[in-house]
A and B are shown apart, each in its own frame.
Chain A
Amino acid sequence: MLEPSDSQEAYDYTLLAIEISERWRIPVLLRMTTRICHSATLLRTQAQLAPPPPAFVRDVPGRVMIPAYARPAHQRLRAKLAEIAAWNETDGPTQVVDGDRSLGIVTSGISYQHVREAAARARVLKIGLSYPPPVETMRRFAASVDRCLVVEEGDPYLYEAARTAGVAVEQKPEMYRFGELNVSRVRRIVAGDLSPEPALPAGKPPELCPGCPHRNVFEALRDLGCIVAGDIGCYTLGVLPPFSAMDTCVCMGAAIGVGLGLRHSLPPEQARKVVSVIGDSTFVHSGITGLVEMVYNPPATGHVLVILDNGTTAMTGMQEHPGTGRRLDHQPTGRVVFEDLARTLGIRNVFTVDPIADSDSITRVLREALGRDELSVIIARRPCLLAAGSIKLREKKTNAG
């Protein structure tokens, strides 16, 4: 695992990850934390590597993990990791910043930048490849300073790796395990400051845009007192006031499985209120398997699935998806039609409503579907307000072309 600390390293480590992966035939993780993704620093690019020409080379014991091949594969894996660990000690992306021997800091990723600023005089060991960890390098470093502190964000991973290897290091106090680190917090860690941190004024929470087609759907779910198994997208904001109409949200696609689980396990009067709500993009990404399960193991009270089809992937920046009939570059391609898919799988109650053109439609249809002990799929179709203009233009182009 490689841990970049700024945009330059995110770039360089991506290339290094490819090298390591090619050399040892192993997957490499590039640990992109929120702060690295949401910051920008100056970058010097390199000449592009030419990818090797693709060709299939048969390697059955390496790629077919039947038990007879998996057992030796496990041994090969451990041998590779031992080689990478040795390489990491001598040639890995590790950096030592010289400084005063009174304080040594072992760090990785974004924490390195905070450390350089918060403890400008400290000696610093920056670890670029954190798994397998360079424990011998850490041991030598710790021996070279009077006090050795590990500063890392979140759980104490490097600290535990060092301690397991018998390296005497200190870890950050438990209160700094939670939340993001920054320069002020690293100063406090170095000083061993355990006093409560200042509370900051709360910002304004985000909201569904005025005129967003998701709004009417969540008003209806709220007013009908539904138990809502939700999912991830703009519409997750249905959890906040004025809607307060979402009860679970785990990972993309979970709406359907969680909703079905609730339907199966709750007493019937509660089960009948359960609705799964999922966005169009999330549905094509990982909701279809849930729909198959819904048909295969229908709950006794049936189930209601609402697909919020706003014609785009709004939350992440208006990308196309398999339900729009256009590729990411907006060129026309095959389209997954949700109504056809649901009917083909054997769902008889398939409704399509436009929650803006007919604002009562969603309440009407939801009430009807909730009143039957059957499976229903409701498609609430209305383009995202912010994407509607460009969707219309693209549709025109497709129809003309």
Chain B
Amino acid sequence: MPGNSAVVNVVVAGLGGQGVLKASGILADTAFRAGLDVKKSEIHGMSQRGGSVSSDVRFGERVFSPMVPLGEANFLVVLAASQVEVARPVLRPGGVLIHPGLLDETQLTNKRSLNVALLGVLARQLDLADNLWHAAIRAALPEKLHAANLQAFAIGRNP
């Protein structure tokens, strides 16, 4: 198989305003804190204006291209049901789709933390320590949002 098979490819997709870039930033920071090489890239024509947004995160011992090649994502995290089909071609055969249907959204104290809750679901499958995730979440958000987002992460992480 061409390319570096030790690299983990994650794509986060959704609509503007849902926190796609925030989620990919937290993931990239977590991988960085784990001492890995990490690259992140994004497509957000006008992310605040409600259009499709997607962001690639790749980490491993050494990463070259910042973009996940088509059909090679190990994980696809989709924040909006409408974006599943738009983003699906990036997923490799047998890759894992993570979507809001996997969660009980009513448990979230803050609906806007859906992005972080889905990172919790992703965290079940990745070899990144929880304390690194927590540190990255705290670093990415203002203090008043820490509790709600750590709770959201836990809901995804330990259902």
CB < 8 Å neighbour of A182 from B28, B50, B65, B85 = B65
Is B137 an interface residue, CB under 8 A from the partner? no
Task: Provide the residues of chain A in CB contact with B41, threshold 8 Å.
Answer: 35, 38-40
Q: Is A202 an interface residue (CB 8 A)?
A: yes
Which residues of chain A come closer than 8 Å to B85, judged between CB atoms? 201
What 0/1 pattern do residues 16 to 45 of B give for CB contact below 8 A with A? 100000000000100010000111111111
Shortest distance in angstroms between B30's beta carbon and chain A's nearest beta carbon?
14
Whether, in the assembled complex, B144 has its beta carbon less than 8 Å from a beta carbon of chain A, the answer is no
Partner of A183, one of B37, B69, B83: B69
Are B66 and A198 in touch, CB under 8 angstroms? no
A-B contact count (CB 8 A): 105
A201 to B82, CA, bound (A): 12
Task: List the B residue with the shortest CB-CB distance to A315.
Answer: B46
- Specify the chain B residue showing the minimal Cβ separation from A118: B2
Contacts of A35 in B (CB 8 A): 41, 66-67
Q: Which one of A120, A182, A203, A386 has the greatest number of beta carbons of chain B within 10 Å?
A: A203
**Is the contact region of chain B dominated by helix, strand, or loop, or is it mixed?**
mixed
A55 vs B48: C-alpha distance in the bound complex, in angstroms? Answer: 44
B contact residues around A207 at 8 Å (CB) = 49-51
Is A6 in contact with B46, judged by CB distance below 8 angstroms?
A: no
Q: A201-B86, A206-B45 are in contact. Are A114 and B64 (CB under 8 A)?
A: yes
Are A200 and B2 in contact (CB-based, < 8 A)?
Answer: no
Closest to B80 in A: A204
Question: Looking across the interface, which residue of chain B has its beta carbon closest to that of A116?
Answer: B64
A117 within 8 A of B: yes
For residue B74, CB closer than 8 A to chain A, the reply is no
How far is the CB of B17 from the nearest CB of chain A, in Å? 9
Of all chain A residues, the one with the shortest Cβ separation from B4 is A117
Q: Which of B81-118 contact A (CB under 8 A)?
A: 82-83, 85-86, 88-89
Contact-size category for B: 35 or more
Q: How far is the CB of A207 from chain B (nearest CB, A)?
A: 5
CA distance A117 to B43 in the complex (A): 21
A337 interface residue (CB < 8 Å to B): no
A200–B43 Cα distance when bound, in Å, is 14
Q: Which of B39, B49, B82 contacts A39 (CB 8 A)?
A: B39
Query: B-side interface residues toward A, CB under 8 Å?
Result: 2-4, 15-16, 28, 32, 37-46, 48-52, 54, 63-67, 69-71, 82-83, 85-86, 88-89
Residue pairs across A and B with Cβ atoms less than 8 A apart, 10 shown, are: A35-B66, A38-B42, A41-B66, A113-B64, A117-B4, A198-B70, A204-B52, A206-B51, A207-B50, A315-B46
